[in-house]
Amino acid sequence: MDIQLINRIKGGLYGVAVGDALGGTTEFMNTKEIEAKHGYLTEIIGGGVWNLEPGEVTDDTMMTLCVVEGILEDPAEPKEAIGRFFIKWYESRPKDIGNIIRQVFHKYDGDWFEAAFIAHMDLGQSAGNGSLMRCLPVALAYKDTADIERITAMQSRMTHYDPRCTEVCVMYNRMAYRLLQGEDLRSVILAEVAGSEYEGHVEALPDCPPSGFVVHTFRWVLHILLHSTNYAEAVQKAANLGGDSDTIGAIAGGLAGIYYGYEGIPVRYTEAILVKERLDLLVSQLYALNTSSSM
Ligand SMILES: [Mg+2]
């Protein structure tokens, strides 16, 4: 058993869930409102616009788990399996589906790419962060970077037609893959954004709101990761931004969780997560797939 690899895979999946559960409390608030109500939020207390139970996760984590389960069911071509888990989740009537993804589910008629295109045309845009927030499992499941890039792009295009979403998902999972190999967080981020529109925009405080627009989200995620020295600091920064805080926390938390490892996430955070048993099971299955000789 490769204990370090398990620690990183587990850190990645829990990293998403904890960032989501912590940031869910402050989603759609602004920094003034957060300060007045919570001071500086550091604990998973639930509440917020979704009236969450403490430790309850939102769409970010639930869709991430759909991607994990789809990959586990059909690692070679997971699109249809991921789609079935998406629909199963949708049919459970979750309280928090993003606009673009809701529209795609509404339009889906057997062809995900077509549904994503129709939703893009109907809404006039599809550059949300909804395919980025759930894409991490692809980097945790596959060993080959060509597989990671192909399946990461595919899962983005299932709901988000805008090529900026695909680009950011691939960049993010290339980072995740390198962190899984034990590389340094700062050098990985700087190397992977080189030549993209994010180059030169990750050090200074972003001059954009922490919104659900994928470009804004990714700028905040990279900034937070470069300016935090541990896992808790990263997800707390996201939670106290407000705006799309749960998604920014989930995305930043995924990479921070791989880099600092499961053991780097405070126990009070991991113990709070209500879907903990399901996460533990999926972590061991992801590890088995990642280390199997057939993939
Ligand atoms: Mg959410």
If residue 240 lies in a helix (H) or strand (E), which one and from where to where?
none
Report how far residue 271's alpha carbon sits from residue 18's, in angstroms, rounded to the nearest whole number. 10
Which two three-digit tokens encode residue 82? Answer: 């991921």
| Ligand 1 midpoint to CA 152 (Å) | 20
| Ligand 1 midpoint to CA 1 (Å) | 34
Rounding to the nearest 10 degrees, give the CA dihedral for residues 166, 171, 176, 182: 160
| Ligand 1 midpoint to CA 293 (Å) | 35
Note the pLDDT of residue 203.
87
| Ligand 1 midpoint to CA 145 (Å) | 28
Q: Using the structure block, give the residue that is written with the tokens 């962190």.
A: 179
| Ligand 1 midpoint to CA 63 (Å) | 10
| Ligand 1 midpoint to CA 292 (Å) | 32
Note the pLDDT of residue 1.
86
Residue 122 to residues 115, 129, 162, 193, 250: CA-CA distances in angstroms? 10, 18, 13, 31, 28
| Ligand 1 midpoint to CA 181 (Å) | 29
Note the pLDDT of residue 192.
98
Q: What ranges make up the beta strands (E) of 87-142?
A: none
Report yes or no: 14 and 254 within 8 Å, Cβ to Cβ.
Answer: no
Note the pLDDT of residue 71.
98
Rounding to the nearest 10 degrees, give the CA dihedral for residues 198, 201, 206, 211: 0
Neighbours of ion ligand 1 (CB under 5 A): 58-60, 246
| Ligand 1 midpoint to CA 189 (Å) | 24
Residue 209 has phi, psi (to 5 degrees) of: -70, 155
For each successive 10 residues of the chain (295 residues), what is the average pLDDT? 96 98 98 98 97 97 98 98 98 92 97 98 98 98 97 98 98 98 98 95 93 98 98 98 98 98 98 98 97 71
DSSP state of 244: S
Note the pLDDT of residue 220.
98
Q: How much is the pTM? A: 0.98
